[in-house]
Amino acid sequence: QSACILRGCCWSPESDTSVPWCFFSSNHGYKVDGSTRSTQTGFETTLTRLPSPSLFGNDINTVLLTGEYQTPNRFRFKITDPKTQRFEVPHEQVQSFAGPAASNLNYKV
């Protein structure tokens, strides 16, 4: 039996070690708002914040989720604020992925 405690986290000890003992109820987080759009590299969709208590404050109510099927073994996702551009730390060894999206994937999204 689970009990929801501090900041809405639910605690439910399980004998199965692959199941997390602490989790948030289904009214936390974000939900897909509208349709998922296909792109050359994968997909993008808009997520809207669910009406739940804030964990850290300054929540962004609408975010953009971008998914890239980069290789059969590598999926990249990125969550951004579509209204405010923020600085992203550049990485000299990691280049932008231009596609096309990989096929014969070894994962499901």
Q: Note whether 62 and 30 are within 8 A (CB).
A: no
Which domain does 69 fall in, by range? 27-80
For 47-60, what is the mean pLDDT?
84
More confident residue, 12 or 107: 107
Q: Give the count of domains, the chain.
A: 1
Question: Does residue 49 lie in a domain region?
Answer: yes
Which amino acid is it at 39? T
Average pLDDT, the chain: 84
Q: Which residues have C-beta within 8 Å of that of residue 63, sequence separation ≥ 6?
A: 30, 46, 47, 49, 79, 80, 81, 82
Radius of gyration of the chain (CA): 17
Which amino acid is it at 88? E
Of 76, 72, 73, 74, which is closest to residue 39 (Cα–Cα)? 76
Question: Does residue 92 lie in a domain region?
Answer: no
- Give the predicted TM-score (pTM) of the model: 0.74
Question: Does residue 39 lie in a domain region?
Answer: yes
Over 90: is that where the pLDDT of 81 sits?
yes
Question: Does residue 59 lie in a domain region?
Answer: yes
Question: Does residue 76 lie in a domain region?
Answer: yes
Of 27, 3, 28, which is closest to residue 13 (Cα–Cα)? 3
